[in-house]
């Protein structure tokens, strides 16, 4: 576990210092193939003010002609109510590390100019955080009573998910022992209200970020504390 954490730190340093993902892969091929879409050429960089802070900033970096360039910067975000470095389900923390960005979704129709895959959520859509269920950390569409199927779940048809993106934390592979689930990028309630573990921002900034992302560039997200 210690060696795995050290590899993660090394990978984050490489990414956040504008070193190419391919270089990180070359140095740690066995590890980075699991956590970084190869070859990711768009990285959302999220930095908490410090490890226990729920406030931070976001930037978007893109590899253009072999060099990493900043496309967006200084976007304010809120994080988990207990800060970052998630270790278990319900700890109120945002995970640290580098993760693939999954599909986008929302209760609203597909935004204009969006290139990411987009799924419109209905009242029958749930994200399961029941650690004893085979559906753990998955999006499930179910027309029955969810309380009879799962001990714990999250409804996806809510105002905060008018627009959102999935952070593929604990999904490749799924660790079933309550490591954490339902980690998204979504709209915040306010700039002074934390999330339960997600990354959130204003609707305007979220739509700007989403429309900048190109699925062909395999976007990923790197989350850490500011130095």
Exactly one of 24, 198, 206, 213 is catalytic; which is it? 198
> Token pair for residue 105?
């979704």
Buried/exposed 131-144: b ≥16 CB within 10 Å, e otherwise: bebebbbebbeeee
Exactly one of 47, 63, 93, 186 is catalytic; which is it? 186
Residue 50 a catalytic site member: no
Residue 47 a catalytic site member: no
Residues marked as catalytic: 186, 198
């Amino acid at each position: 576990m210690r060696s795995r954490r050290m590899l993660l730190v090394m990978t984050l340093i490489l990414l956040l210092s504008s070193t190419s993902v391919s270089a990180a892969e070359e140095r740690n091929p066995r590890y980075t193939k699991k956590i970084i879409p190869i070859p990711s050429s768009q990285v959302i960089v999220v930095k908490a003010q410090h490890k226990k802070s729920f406030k931070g900033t976001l930037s978007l970096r893109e590899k253009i002609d072999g060099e990493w360039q900043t496309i967006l910067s200084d976007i304010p975000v809120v994080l988990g109510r207990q800060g970052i470095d998630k270790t278990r389900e319900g700890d109120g923390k945002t995970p640290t590390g580098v993760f693939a960005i999954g599909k986008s979704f929302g209760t609203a129709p597909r935004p204009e100019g969006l290139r990411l895959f987009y799924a419109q959520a209905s009242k029958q859509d749930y994200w399961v955080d029941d650690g004893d269920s085979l559906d753990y950390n998955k999006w499930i569409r179910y027309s029955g009573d969810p309380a009879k199927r799962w001990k714990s779940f999250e409804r996806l048809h809510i105002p905060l998910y008018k627009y959102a993106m999935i952070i593929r934390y604990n999904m490749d592979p799924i660790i079933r022992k309550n490591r954490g689930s339902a980690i998204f990028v979504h709209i915040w309630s306010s700039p002074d209200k934390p999330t339960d573990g997600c990354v959130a921002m204003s609707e305007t900034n979220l739509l700007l970020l989403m429309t900048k992302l190109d699925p062909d560039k395999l976007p990923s997200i790197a989350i850490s504390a500011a130095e």
